[in-house]
């Protein structure tokens, strides 16, 4: 079978333009495609416990979503400024978009230019990740947290045809404010489903990764993101593997965080800082055994991450079936559970060295994300 069809055509009617609740469904009633060694199964997300087993570990992202889009004007033209990430020295990485959620092309952003915001201005200082001209380092003449609380709204793109309140962009795990966009793989989880998982003998553990802004038009690799894997979560990951359990990452964000903290043998350290890890054929997953994920745009770099976990053949088959059977795309859409081949034959291993590792910290990368598959935490 060929590799993931990164240039597949996504019909317009496959975009989920509104939350499941607006379609008459509970969050956990969205569709779930499960792909493993026995083939593909179709289910509802609330049936997730049936596809896991006692001893498995589900790792979730506890980052909550900021109201990171603010109406703006640039060179006198209406715009929206997306606040992508708070940088180490108090400035912000930002992106200009149109009010319709498309790339801003009316005027070229440039160093020293000012973006008008409600009651304040943002000054563009330099490109954040050159040579890309999409994201800029900006200084804002006010407290950004207060600005977002008063004037911000959730980031949306052109396929979302109306505005939805921040409540629709929250997950049950969100506790640590910081994500520019919702860690949407966790959106279908409900309190009841979490209870069902726990009573089935399945453990849950959190990481924190504050998501940046996606690049739906350009398919750029993900930007550096701030993350933390705690000592407790690292220990639970290593313990699950040592006792024959599987580690299921809820979303590409969790996968990136765990793999940024993993050694070549798959042992996970406590770690914190910035990660620029790019997963793909040159850097396959080492510790994540399965991935819960939404459906990604043609050309999206996240498709490479899916391959890194489940392999190109399995991801290709899942996407072909999803396209044939009416699954919905994007953050309000349907989901998939993709197992790695090794995940269904996990053998116990010696992870006794886990307790010897301390927390590693990394600073924000000063250059663009590396395609080498080495995270900042690993480099330090």
Q: At 336, phi and psi to the nearest 5?
A: -140, 150
On whether residue 185 sits in a domain, the answer given is: yes
- Position 4 pLDDT exceeds 80: no
E strand or H helix at 273:
strand 271-275
Instruction: Determine the pLDDT at residue 1.
Output: 34
Residue 159: pLDDT band by 50, 70, 90 thresholds? confident
Q: In the prediction, which pLDDT does 343 show? A: 63
Q: Which pLDDT value is given to residue 2?
A: 39
Residues 45 and 125 placed together within one structural domain of the fold: no
Residue with tokens 């081949």: 341
Q: Quick one: average pLDDT of 256-270? A: 97
Does residue 156 form part of some domain? no
Task: Provide CB contacts within 8 A for 59, sequence distance 6+.
Answer: 204, 205, 206, 207, 233, 237, 247, 248, 249, 250, 254, 258
Distance CA 181, CA 215 (A): 12
- Residues 139 and 167 both lie in one domain: no
Distant-in-sequence, close-in-space partners of 62: CB < 8 Å, separation ≥ 6: 173, 174, 175, 176, 206, 207, 208
In this prediction the pTM is: 0.87
Cα 315 from Cα 326, distance rounded (Å): 17
Counting every residue written for the chain, the total comes to 380
Q: Looking at the structure, tell me whether residues 212 and 112 fall in a common domain.
A: no
- Please check whether residue 130 lies inside any domain of the structure: yes
Instruction: Identify which of 7, 31, 22 has the alpha carbon closest to the alpha carbon of residue 329.
Output: 31
* CATH code of residue 48: 3.40.1780.10
- Across 105-117, average pLDDT: 94
Is 32 found in the same domain as 99?
A: no
Does some domain include residue 6? no
For the chain, what percent of residues have pLDDT higher than 70? Answer: 87
329: which DSSP letter? Answer: B
Across residues 370-379, what is the average pLDDT?
30
In 3D space, the residue among 254, 252, 248 whose CA is nearest the CA of residue 230 turns out to be: 254
Confirm if 319 and 1 have CB atoms less than 8 A apart: no
Q: How confident is the model at residue 214 (pLDDT cuts 50, 70, 90)?
A: confident
CA-CA distance, 280 to 317, in Å (whole number)? 17
Q: Does pLDDT of 99 surpass 60?
A: yes
Of 97, 118, 151, the residue that ends a domain is 151
Q: Are residues 264 and 232 in the same domain?
A: yes
**pLDDT over 50 (residue 6):** yes
Q: Which of 129, 151, 173 marks a domain boundary?
A: 151
Residue 134 per-residue DSSP state: S
Q: For residue 377, what pLDDT band results from cuts at 50, 70 and 90?
A: very low
157 in any annotated domain: no
HSE, side-chain direction, 13 A CA sphere, residue 361 = 2
Mark whether 170 and 298 lie in a shared domain. Answer: yes
Domain of 126 in residue numbering reads as 69-151
In a domain, 47, yes or no: yes
C-alpha 58/C-alpha 201 separation (Å) is 11
User: How far apart, in Å, are the Cα atoms of 73 and each of 70, 113, 149?
Assistant: 10, 11, 19
Coil/strand/helix, residue 353: helix
Least confident of 14-23, 136-145, 271-280, 291-300: 291-300
Place of tokens 């894997």: 229
Contacts of 350 (CB under 8 A, 6+ apart): 242
Instruction: Answer yes or no: do 259 and 208 share one domain.
Output: yes
Helix (H) and strand (E) counts in the chain: 7, 18
Say what the pLDDT of residue 207 is.
98
Question: Model confidence at 126, in pLDDT bands (50, 70, 90)?
Answer: very high
108 with 20, same domain: the answer is no
Q: Cα 175–191–170 angle (5° rounding)?
A: 40
Same domain as 323, residue 216: yes
Residue 312 confidence (pLDDT) = 92
Q: Above 60 in pLDDT, residue 359?
A: no
Mean pLDDT score of the chain: 88
| Span 317-328, pLDDT tens digits | 999 999 999 999
238: enclosing H helix or E strand: helix 231-242
The predicted pLDDT at position 344 comes to 56
Between the alpha carbon of residue 94 and those of residues 77, 80, 360, the distances in Å are 17, 10, 27
Is residue 357 over pLDDT 60? no
3-state class (DSSP) for residue 149: helix
Residue at which a domain ends, from 117, 151, 185: 151
Residues 181 and 289 in one domain: yes
Q: Is 101 domain-assigned? A: yes
> Is residue 144 domain-shared with residue 171, that is, in the same domain?
no
Q: Total structural domains in the chain? A: 2
To the nearest 10 degrees (0 to 180), the angle between helices 302-310 and 252-260 is: 70
CB-based contact 331:253 (threshold 8 Å): no
Which of 26, 59, 40, 8 shows the shortest CA–CA distance to 337?
40
* Tokens encoding 371: 């395609």
Task: Name the pLDDT band for 340 (thresholds 50, 70, 90).
Answer: very high
Q: Return the SS3 of 136.
A: strand
Identify the helix (H) or strand (E) that includes residue 376: helix 376-379
Collapsed DSSP state (helix, strand, coil) of residue 276? coil
Co-location of 240 and 120 in the same domain: no
Let me know if residue 334 belongs to a domain: yes
């Amino acid at each position: 079978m060929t590799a993931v069809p990164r240039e597949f055509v996504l019909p317009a009617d496959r975009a989920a333009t509104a939350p499941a609740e607006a379609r008459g469904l509970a969050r956990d009633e969205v569709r779930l495609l499960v792909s493993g060694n026995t083939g593909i199964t179709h289910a509802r997300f609330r049936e997730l416990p049936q596809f896991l087993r006692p001893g498995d570990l589900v790792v979730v992202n506890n980052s909550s979503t900021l109201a990171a889009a603010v109406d703006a004007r640039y060179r006198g033209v209406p715009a929206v400024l997306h606040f992508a990430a708070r940088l180490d020295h108090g400035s912000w990485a930002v992106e200009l978009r149109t009010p319709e959620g498309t790339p801003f092309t009316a005027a070229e952003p440039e160093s020293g230019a000012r973006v008008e915001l409600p009651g304040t201005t943002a000054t563009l200082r330099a490109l954040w990740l050159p040579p890309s001209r999409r994201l800029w380092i900006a200084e804002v003449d006010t407290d950004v947290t207060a600005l977002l609380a008063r004037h911000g709204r959730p980031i949306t793109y052109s396929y979302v045809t109306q505005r939805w309140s921040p409540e629709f962009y929250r997950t049950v795990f969100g506790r640590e404010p910081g994500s520019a966009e919702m860690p949407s793989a966790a959106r279908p989880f409900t309190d009841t489903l979490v209870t069902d998982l726990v009573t089935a003998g399945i453990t849950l553990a959190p990481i924190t990764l504050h998501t940046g802004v996606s690049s739906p038009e350009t398919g750029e690799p993900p930007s550096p993101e701030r993350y933390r894997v705690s000592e407790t979560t690292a220990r639970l990951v290593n313990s699950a593997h040592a006792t024959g359990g599987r580690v299921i990452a809820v979303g590409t964000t969790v996968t990136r965080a765990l793999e940024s903290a993993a050694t070549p043998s798959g042992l996970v350290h406590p770690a914190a800082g910035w990660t620029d890890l790019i997963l793909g054929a040159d850097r396959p997953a080492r510790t994540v055994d399965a991935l819960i994920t939404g459906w990604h745009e043609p050309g999206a770099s996240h498709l490479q991450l899916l391959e890194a976990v489940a392999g190109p053949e399995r991801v290709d088959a899942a996407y072909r079936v999803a396209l044939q059977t009416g699954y919905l795309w994007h953050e309000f859409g349907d989901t998939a559970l993709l197992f790695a081949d090794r995940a269904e034959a996990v053998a116990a291993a010696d992870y006794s060295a886990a307790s010897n590792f301390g927390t590693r910290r990394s600073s924000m990368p000063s250059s663009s994300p590396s395609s080498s598959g080495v995270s900042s935490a690993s480099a330090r």
